[in-house]
């Protein structure tokens, strides 16, 4: 049995339920999905400021999940919130859904568009696309959709998303679409049928890549960039996050 920890770094439990359902739909036989909501931080992650305050809760959830036997962990925010810190801290593979999604899309199409939520999220996602070596293949668009509106059936969030996907296919000549928010995970199959192109949900992509790493017996290198953090004292409200407390 492979146990995959899926962490929603924001504190909205309804979004965790959407993420968990997508993860379980993608998981293979013999994979257990343990989905958790961060215990502290913002209700949604929309920009650099929110992202910073989401990291402590994320790291605490991953540390606890690893201690309870998780074989790998997935960070279910398209900003890949806290990914580098989590990889340095943990002894298990850590997958970010943006990295997983763009890697998967690259197998499917020469060029693709990522459709994210708000304009303020577009530039951070573009930076990730550059980091992952996909700048020449991926265009990033924002549908002007607040994250929490994806949970509201009375909002026009889904219509805005669909309109932006249509523009991506027409104007960017996108051959595939990547959904740029974990809260969109439940929409992928319906959108794929509607638009006739592959639609990649980062949660499902991350599950399959995590399963692969576990099956291959591979985990994060601890030489250099992701070496375990040095033991030292942290003070004030962050004292519990000192590397010794996290088991480094």
Does 246 fall in a domain? no
Please, which pLDDT band fits residue 247 given cuts at 50, 70 and 90? very low
pTM: 0.95
pLDDT (tens digit per residue) in 109-166: 999 999 999 999 999 999 999 999 999 999 999 999 999 999 888 899 999 999 999 9
- How many domains does the chain divide into? 2
Whether 116 and 176 share a structural domain: yes
Cα separation, 219 vs 14, whole angstroms: 31
Residue-level pLDDT at 25: 97
Whether 223 and 174 share a structural domain: no
Whether 163 and 224 share a structural domain: no
Whether 6 and 125 share a structural domain: no
Whether 110 and 83 share a structural domain: no
Residue-level pLDDT at 151: 83
pLDDT (tens digit per residue) in 67-121: 999 999 999 999 999 999 999 999 999 999 999 999 999 999 999 999 999 999 9
């Amino acid at each position: 049995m492979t146990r995959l920890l899926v962490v929603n770094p924001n504190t909205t439990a309804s979004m965790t339920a959407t993420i968990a359902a997508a993860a379980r739909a993608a998981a293979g036989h013999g994979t257990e999905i343990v989905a958790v909501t961060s215990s502290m931080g913002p209700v949604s992650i929309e920009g650099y400021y929110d992202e910073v305050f989401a990291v402590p809760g994320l790291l605490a959830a991953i540390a606890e999940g690893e201690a309870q036997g998780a074989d790998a962990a997935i960070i279910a925010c398209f900003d890949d919130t806290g990914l580098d810190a989590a990889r340095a801290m943990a002894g298990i593979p850590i997958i970010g859904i943006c990295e997983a999604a763009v890697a998967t899309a690259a197998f499917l199409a020469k060029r693709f568009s990522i459709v994210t939520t708000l304009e303020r999220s577009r530039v951070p996602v573009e930076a990730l696309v550059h980091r992952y070596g996909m700048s020449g293949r991926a265009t990033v668009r924002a549908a002007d959709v607040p994250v929490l509106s994806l949970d509201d059936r009375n909002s026009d969030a889904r219509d805005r998303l669909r309109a932006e996907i249509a523009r991506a296919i027409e104007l960017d000549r996108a051959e595939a679409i990547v959904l740029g928010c974990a809260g969109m995970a439940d929409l992928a199959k319906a959108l794929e049928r509607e638009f006739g192109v592959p639609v990649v949900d980062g949660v499902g992509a991350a599950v399959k890549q995590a399963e692969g790493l576990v099956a291959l017996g591979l985990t994060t290198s601890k030489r250099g960039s992701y070496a375990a953090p040095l033991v030292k004292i942290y003070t004030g409200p962050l004292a519990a996050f000192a590397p010794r407390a996290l088991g480094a």
